[in-house]
Structure 1
Amino acid sequence: MMGDWGWAGMAAGWSWVFLLLLLVGIATLVILLVRLTVGGVDPRRRGPAPGDAQAQARAILDERYARGEIDTAEYDERLGRIRGDG
């Protein structure tokens, strides 16, 4: 017999779960907003400055070499071109 509590008693029993989910959701939103506004990207993983075309080309070349898309000879040849060696 539920007595005087009825559905209100059951709802009060589960209200802490909803409160916890609400707090977790708010905390997640705050963290996301802070990361977006402050720039949550790790500075060590950032590429070269947008205006530095030579550094960007070198970064792309390094990535292609690391992935195995080009061999050492082609890497050295293209690196020389980027540096202006010929």
Structure 2
Amino acid sequence: MGAGWAWGWLFLLLLLVGLALLIVLVVRLAGGGAGRGGPGGPDPEEGRRRARAILDERYARGEIDSAEYDERLRRIQER
């Protein structure tokens, strides 16, 4: 007779977890998700700006030389 209560609590817990996951999914889909550039996906220009900033930092720290910097910059601009 007491086993019915245990199954009821388990069902209620699973129902609440499922409902919470559904709410999170709906909010993420409606909001466009975190880190995306909107409905069309990531903004390619933003990616180029970020790549250029990283490249500039590496050059400034002396991790790459001028020839490698120029080559990588050319590849970033081709995209």
Q: TM-score scaled to structure 1, two decimals?
A: 0.48
Aligned-residue RMSD, C-alpha: 3.8
The within-5 A match list for 1:1-86 is: 5=1, 9-42=2-35, 49-50=43-44, 52=45, 56=48, 59=51, 62=54, 72-73=64-65, 74=68, 76-78=69-71, 79=73, 81=74
- The one-letter code sitting in structure 2 at the alignment partner of 1:36 is L
Unpaired stretches in structure 1, ≥5 consecutive residues: none
Which structure exhibits the higher relative contact order, with contacts defined as CA atoms closer than 8 Å and separated by 6 or more residues? Answer: 2
Aligned length: 64
Residue aligned with 1:27, SS: helix
Q: Distance in 1 between matches of 2:51 and 2:30?
A: 26
How many percent of aligned residue pairs carry the same amino acid? 43
Unpaired stretches in structure 2, ≥5 consecutive residues: none
- The one-letter code sitting in structure 1 at the alignment partner of 2:26 is L
List 4+ stretches of structure 1 deviating above 6 A.
none
- The one-letter code sitting in structure 2 at the alignment partner of 1:12 is W
Q: Distance in 1 between matches of 2:50 and 2:18?
A: 42
